[in-house]
């Protein structure tokens, strides 16, 4: 058996204390360096996190509408929690917390990155893109996610940032993040990982561009009132009808994307409200938007995760995933839910369905972001940089379920 690099864990049940104790039993080890824990939003986070304090390592995570990586008994509808533990000398982790985003998201996001960098005895400027990556978890309903994404990534622009927003469908239910034994809303967590194993930051969207381009001529926050100087919903309906598409209402499958350096950053449509378009991320007057439509959700995801596996040496030891709720809703609508689950299960995946995602400095939607972590190779010494991995891999315990 190879050395312990990572371990996945899951638990199912309605008792948050019992779920947490089950996770602790699976994760506990003197070699544990950090644990990521994602739990269904019906599980009381205060109780859950208090019990997770039994682990002798930092625990970070968030609440979610649904988690990815749990194995449920047939017919079970009980809530679940999943976890990913990182073990051994290959990894160091620093954690920063940005509280009260509604008061000063731009400042708090920056400060959280500096705090996380200090946790591994570095400054943000000293972080190395070949050895360091940032993972973010944020309150998906704070309405300040965009500012947090900008400020956090701007604090260390030389490294990759990926993350996801805690989620729920209930309007009156809060979403939470946790770190250092405390549970927060209106907050975010930044984890800076230093890795001797190869890693690859994933950003995958199955939406494909049409030939349609439109300009935002009136917008406030996440609402577009006008496109091309006309009422937004009417103009969009006219555009898509012109290429033989129809606009599904009240929630279209079409989306918008801003292209930056040739890369599309998706803004999905939450709903049509009269002549107004309500998006899941903010846009500004003057933004040029490309109209997107769904492509092959499962096929593109399989391709992108296959590329990620190759980038880390051919096999993942773990994949930390933040997958937009809209992707799973579309899969259910199109009868591809089982195929999507199978695509995740083809890799050692732990994650959750997110309200929105971070990719670099931008908040995006309808996107899968995440971190693929490779395995230690036989030729890789404890001091070798991640990029030098080669030779025969020694498998970590990435597939263990107990």
Strand-by-strand arrangement of the 67-68 sheet = 67-68, 349-354, 318-324, 368-373, 199-204
User: Per the domain annotation, does 250 fall within a domain?
Assistant: yes
Q: Give me the pLDDT at residue 221, please.
A: 84
In the three-class reduction of DSSP (H, G, I as helix; E, B as strand; rest coil), residue 389 is classed as coil
Is the pLDDT at 395 greater than 50? The verdict is no
Name the 3-class secondary structure at 331. Answer: helix
**CA–CA dist 380, 64 (Å, integer):** 37
Q: Is the pLDDT of residue 353 over 60?
A: yes
Angle at 370 between CA 130 and CA 400, to 5 degrees: 100
On whether residue 268 sits in a domain, the answer given is yes
Domain of 316, in residue numbers: 6-203+298-388
Instruction: Let me know whether 115 and 262 are in one domain.
Output: no
- Asked if 124 and 109 touch (Cβ cutoff 8 Å), the reply is no
Residues 144 and 70 in one domain: yes
**pLDDT, tens digit, for every residue of 43-85?**
999 999 999 999 999 999 999 999 999 988 777 789 999 999 9
Collect all residues with Cβ–Cβ distance below 8 Å to 362 and sequence separation of at least 6. Answer: 146, 149, 150, 258, 260, 265
Cα–Cα distance, 188 to 108 (Å, whole number): 9
pLDDT mean over 220-237: 94
204 φ, ψ (degrees, to nearest 5): -130, 125
pLDDT of residue 377: 65
Average pLDDT for 247-252? 79
- Identify whether 397 is part of a domain: no
Which pairs with CB-CB distance under 8 Å and at least 24 residues apart come from 312-315?
312/197, 312/198, 312/199, 312/200, 312/372, 312/373, 312/374, 312/375, 313/198, 313/374, 313/375, 313/377, 313/389, 313/390, 313/393, 314/393, 315/374, 315/375, 315/393, 315/395
Decide if 398 is inside a domain. Answer: no
First-residue to last-residue Cα distance in the chain: 15
Q: Can you spell out the DSSP letters for 79-126?
A: -EEEEEEEESTTEEEEEEEE--HHHHHHHHHHHHHHHHHHTTT--GGG
What average pLDDT score do residues 231-248 get?
A: 92
Q: Are residues 26 and 135 in the same domain?
A: yes
Same domain, yes or no, for 54 and 129? yes
Looking at residue 393, its pLDDT comes to 25
Locate 157 and state its tokens.
Answer: 């622009």
Query: What φ, ψ does residue 91 adopt, rounded to 5°?
Result: -135, 140
- The residue among 164, 163, 181 whose CA lies nearest residue 60 is 181
Say if 393 falls within a structural domain. no
How many domains does the chain divide into? 2
Distance CA 43, CA 47 (A): 8
Dihedral sign, CA of 140, 145, 148, 150?
Answer: positive
Cα–Cα distance for residue pair 121/247, rounded to 1 Å: 52
CATH number of the domain where residue 211 is located: 2.40.10
């Amino acid at each position: 058996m190879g050395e312990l690099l990572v371990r996945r864990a899951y638990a199912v049940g309605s008792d948050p204390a019992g779920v947490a104790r089950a996770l602790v039993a699976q994760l506990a080890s003197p070699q544990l360096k950090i644990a990521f824990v994602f739990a269904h939003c019906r599980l009381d986070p205060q109780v859950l996190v208090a019990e997770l304090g039994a682990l002798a390592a930092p625990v970070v995570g968030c609440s979610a509408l649904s988690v990815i990586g749990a194995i449920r008994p047939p017919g079970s509808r009980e809530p679940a929690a999943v976890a990913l533990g990182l073990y051994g000398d290959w990894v160091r982790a620093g954690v920063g917390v940005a509280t009260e985003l509604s008061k000063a998201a731009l400042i708090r996001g920056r400060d959280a990155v500096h705090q996380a960098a200090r946790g591994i005895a570095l400054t943000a400027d000293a972080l190395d893109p070949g050895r360091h990556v940032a993972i973010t978890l944020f309150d998906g309903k704070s309405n300040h996610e965009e500012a947090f994404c900008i400020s956090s990534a701007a604090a260390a622009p030389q490294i990759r940032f990926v993350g996801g927003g805690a989620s729920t469908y209930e309007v009156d239910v809060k979403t939470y993040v946790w770190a250092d034994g405390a549970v927060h809303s209106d907050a975010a967590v930044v984890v800076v990982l230093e890795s001797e194993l190869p890693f690859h930051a994933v950003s995958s969207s199955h939406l494909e561009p049409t030939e349609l381009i439109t300009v935002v001529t009136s917008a406030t926050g996440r609402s577009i009132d006008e496109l091309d100087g006309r009422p937004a919903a009417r103009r969009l309906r006219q555009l898509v009808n012109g290429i033989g598409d129809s606009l599904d209402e009240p929630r279209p499958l079409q989306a918008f994307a801003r292209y930056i350096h040739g890369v599309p950053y998706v803004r999905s449509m939450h709903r049509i409200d009269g002549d107004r378009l309500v998006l899941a991320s903010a846009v500004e007057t003057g933004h040029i938007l490309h109209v997107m439509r769904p492509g092959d959700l499962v096929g593109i995801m399989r391709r992108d995760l296959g590329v990620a596996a190759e980038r880390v040496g051919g096999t993942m030891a773990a994949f930390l995933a933040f997958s937009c709720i809209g992707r799973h809703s579309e899969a259910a609508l199109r009868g591809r839910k089982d195929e999507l689950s199978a695509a995740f299960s083809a890799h050692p995946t732990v994650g959750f369905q997110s309200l929105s995602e971070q990719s670099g400095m931008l908040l995006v939607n309808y996107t899968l972001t995440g971190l693929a972590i490779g395995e230690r190779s036989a030729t890789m010494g404890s001091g070798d940089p991640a990029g030098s991995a080669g030779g025969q891999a020694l498998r970590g315990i990435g597939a263990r379920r107990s």
